[in-house]
Chain A
Amino acid sequence: MKRLISIFVVLLLVMGLIGTASAGGDDIVKLSWLVPTFDVNLSMDLPVIAELGRRMNVEIEFRNVAGDDFQTKFNTMIASAKDMADLVSTDKDSLALYGRDLFVNFNDHEDQFTNYFAVLDRVNCRDRVEMDDGSVYGAARFTDEPGMWYGLFMRYDILKENGIAIPNTLDELTDTFAKLKELYPDSSPMTGRWGLDNNISFWLYWFRTGSGMYYKADEDRFVYGPTMDEFKQAIEYLHMMWEKGYLDHETLTQTDEEFYSKLYTGKAFGMSDYFGAETNCNVNSVANNPDYYMCAIPLPEINGVRGYTKIDSYVNTGEMLAISNTCENIDKACELVNYFYTEEGANLMCWGIEGETYEISEDGMKHRTSNIITGNNPDGQVTERETGCRIGNVAKYWIEAVDVENYSGAQREGKLLYNELGVGEPISPLLHFTEDQTIYRKDLSSELSTYRSETVAAFITGEKDLAEWDEFLATLQSIGYEELEALYTEVYGK
């Protein structure tokens, strides 16, 4: 009897061991992820994130930090080197500073990042995520078809109502402003937000220039914007707009609410802003005025050349995902990060779950299901983000087609127009500065930027006479823009 009991106990132990061992393979790996949130708080409760967990056999404990305070929390954790999450959303600048000490170098696990590196290599962008020594400390957000950011928008319905043609050249644009001001003296043809400096940046693009160092494609060199003729022309034009009341003077100070309310109520008819702002105007105004239609107009032709718009790049190094050295399951973390760059992973994080967040039509195209709110389906029940789809910092491979699906009519029309006109900015070559050069560049740029910003605002508002332009350039020279140009030329030459 004793022998039987012994055999039974041994059998039980063996079975238990086998059971434990087999169960071990299915153990869910827990990973923590420090992430800034701008949309929804991330959790495993979101359907798409839950599906991600099921597919990857992971349970992610998201440490959500409100986007505005993310850098404070990140800095505290970095400084204390304690309680670092396994996965950390950050940017390339932070990784350049802390990557070596705190984060996993992807090159040491190259065979685990085959999809990530393949995606980067496909568009020759691996150098964008590399540090000056070639190491890679994070996975950047990748966009398969970079989209446009900036647009010049006007009320088409107002132009039509008054028999004004859509302006095409700078002179026509000026005439349009003049006519609108004459017809509606209490309104501004153009308004803006976030201060004058922000508005200047749009107009500098229209004039094919920039406020700091930028790559001048036709001359194949880096130049300092304020010294260019185009820059002066842009400031002169903005000064003219300011003086004649074509540009709303409250652009300097107004809040977003004031900015939009002017556009909704006909106190302003146009803006230089981001794509999507026109959709806000249309959606929020159409109830009051069914004819209301804000849409992008052609970027003006200046001296026979059309302006640029800012375009997204394939690789956004402002949104990188790093793996902490203290992560207890680095292999799983690598697997997860690499999964985001697979076709399946990208599809899951952007389109979501078939039947729940998207469906495939007969022509093989994907479309959002009717429960998802889009620009064309405002009556849906939830936003795609509330399901876990297309959340910044998490969807690492951005499928632009999802954006297109979401666009409202005006945004689609505007982007199609800009595509036809071919107004995307030229891609700037990537420069690798050493640590010392980076510090020198940042200090000098900051000093130049402060002076440039204050003085240019004064030129536009008339506080400073444009006749003093040479004095302005001389001061920039004394601060050291030539040294900055020389540095860029040296680094680019290498």
Chain B
Amino acid sequence: MQSARSLKKARRLSAFDIAVYAISTAVGLIMLYPFVYMISLSVSDFQPVLNGEVIFLPHGFNTAAYRVFFADNSIWRAYLNTVIIAVGNTILGLAVNSMAGYALSISIFRWRRPATIYLMFTMFFGGGLIPFYILLSRMSLVNTYWALIVPYALSQWYIMIFRTFFSNDIPESLRESALLDGASELQIFRQIVLPLSKPVFATITMYYIVSNWNNYFMPMLLLDNSELFPLQVILQHKLSISNAQKMDGSLNFDFYSAIPVQSTRAAAILASSLPILCLYPFIQKYFVKGVMIGAVKG
């Protein structure tokens, strides 16, 4: 009887709890609104969209904007390019950064401090865009996938996150025991450190994939061949065209398109962000722990 009462007491919400739930719900709705609005715009009938009547829920139902978007073959090619770049960059980046982070986490590593300072320095002072472009050009990387994979394989920020995680979450004694058992550093890294580091790997994987998925500027700058364009470049072309259609009245664009530019734009944005949204739930369980690594421990 007493336990039932205490259970009931525990279930009773305090004013603070209610406030937290209310604020969280409000923030959640604010976050959700742009998505709902985009979905509504992209599937509504054209006239309400043109008249500015779509505010929240769809008016009618019309999927023509999606049909037009996906009918363009360059979109599928762009999806593939994005996946190639994102996967390539993620695999190479995880390998390079995790091993660098592991090396810097070993306390007896003689060059640990100078190497860390050197990496930190380059976080704040870069060579600039033009030298970077010239360097890649001289290495004949411009206009290849490698231009977007190789330079980003090393990230000082991710190395620091790995280093912090390995230093704080993997006991030094584990490494020492393994060394006593005759394991090499590579074996220790592969067989002991890696299995214990799922959260940080999941987090960095997410960072890599999202940043690659959203990367527009560097592909725009480094790629000329439209066969290699990733999704964001194609998307920007499409949005740019939409803007031209709606802005340049003198060129009679708008009436060529049976679909309002708002609908096309919303469909394009949703179709391009959907894959990355689908990825989140699978990594979420590691993500909360992972994102805290760099934030609270140094």
Given A83-B142, A274-B249: A265 in contact with B221 (beta carbons within 8 A): no
CB atoms of B226 and A62 under 8 A apart: yes
CB atoms of B254 and A72 under 8 A apart: no
Q: How far is the CB of A192 from chain B (nearest CB, A)?
A: 13
Stretch at the interface among A99-107, A256-264, A324-332: A256-264
CB atoms of A63 and B256 under 8 A apart: no
Stretch at the interface among A89-97, A221-229, A279-287: A279-287
Stretch at the interface among A14-22, A37-45, A212-220, A421-429: A37-45
B221-234 CB mask vs A (1 if < 8 Å, else 0) is 10011100000010
| Pick from B133, B220, B240, B254: contact of A284, CB under 8 Å | B254
B51 in contact (CB, < 8 A): yes
Given A264-B51, A265-B51: A66 in contact with B249 (beta carbons within 8 A): no
Cα A82 to Cα B248 with chains together (Å): 33
B247-278 CB mask vs A (1 if < 8 Å, else 0) is 11111111110101010000000000000000
Stretch at the interface among A73-81, A133-141, A356-364, A473-481: A73-81
Within 8 A of B (CB), among A20-66: 32, 34, 37-41, 43, 61-66
Cα A149 to Cα B279 with chains together (Å): 49
Residue of B nearest to A65 (CB): B220
A246-273 CB mask vs B (1 if < 8 Å, else 0) is 0000000000111011101100000001
A residues whose Cβ falls under 8 Å from a Cβ of B: 32, 34, 37-41, 43, 61-69, 72-73, 76, 79-80, 82-83, 85, 147, 149, 256-258, 260-262, 264-265, 273-280, 283-284, 287-288, 373, 375, 378, 383, 392, 403, 406-408, 411
CB atoms of A276 and B129 under 8 A apart: no
Q: What are 24 A-B pairs at a CB distance below 8 A? A: A38-B241, A39-B244, A43-B226, A63-B224, A65-B220, A67-B240, A68-B243, A69-B236, A72-B220, A76-B129, A83-B143, A85-B224, A257-B52, A257-B246, A261-B52, A264-B50, A264-B51, A274-B250, A277-B249, A279-B249, A375-B252, A378-B258, A403-B252, A408-B252
Residue of A nearest to B243 (CB): A68
CB atoms of A66 and B142 under 8 A apart: no
Residue of B nearest to A257 (CB): B262
| Pick from A65, A82, A257, A260: contact of B133, CB under 8 Å | A82
Cα A40 to Cα B234 with chains together (Å): 11
B4 in contact (CB, < 8 A): no
The 5 closest A-B pairs by CB, nearest first: A261-B52, A276-B249, A277-B249, A283-B255, A63-B224
Residue of B nearest to A383 (CB): B256
CB atoms of A408 and B250 under 8 A apart: no
Q: How far is the CB of B59 from chain A (nearest CB, A)?
A: 13
CB atoms of A66 and B244 under 8 A apart: no
CB atoms of B47 and A149 under 8 A apart: no
Interface centre among B142, B256, B262 (most CB of A within 10 A): B256
Q: How far is the CB of A273 from chain B (nearest CB, A)?
A: 6
Within 8 A of A (CB), among B205-237: 217, 220-221, 224-226, 233, 236-237
Residue of A nearest to B135 (CB): A80
B residues whose Cβ falls under 8 Å from a Cβ of A: 47, 50-52, 74, 129-130, 133-134, 137-138, 142-143, 217, 220-221, 224-226, 233, 236-237, 240-241, 243-244, 246-256, 258, 260, 262
Cα A462 to Cα B271 with chains together (Å): 46
Cα A433 to Cα B52 with chains together (Å): 48
| Pick from A41, A80, A277, A284: contact of B226, CB under 8 Å | A41
CB atoms of A73 and B220 under 8 A apart: yes
Q: How far is the CB of A165 from chain B (nearest CB, A)?
A: 26
- Please name 10 further chain A to chain B contacts, defined as beta carbons within 8 Å, in addition to the given A37-B240, A72-B221, sorted by A numbering: A38-B244, A63-B225, A68-B236, A80-B134, A82-B138, A258-B52, A261-B52, A275-B249, A280-B254, A373-B256
Cα A64 to Cα B234 with chains together (Å): 10
Contacting residues, chain A, for B74 (C-beta < 8 A): 41
Cα A62 to Cα B223 with chains together (Å): 12
CB atoms of B241 and A284 under 8 A apart: no
Q: How far is the CB of B256 from chain A (nearest CB, A)?
A: 5
Given A66-B220, A283-B254: A260 in contact with B237 (beta carbons within 8 A): no
Cα A63 to Cα B220 with chains together (Å): 10
Contacting residues, chain B, for A82 (C-beta < 8 A): 133-134, 137-138, 142
Contacting residues, chain A, for B233 (C-beta < 8 A): 66
Contacting residues, chain B, for A258 (C-beta < 8 A): 52
Cα A40 to Cα B237 with chains together (Å): 8
CB atoms of A40 and B130 under 8 A apart: no
Residue of B nearest to A390 (CB): B251
Q: How far is the CB of B201 from chain A (nearest CB, A)?
A: 34
CB atoms of B252 and A279 under 8 A apart: yes
CB atoms of B250 and A66 under 8 A apart: no
Given A258-B52, A274-B249, A280-B254: A40 in contact with B137 (beta carbons within 8 A): no
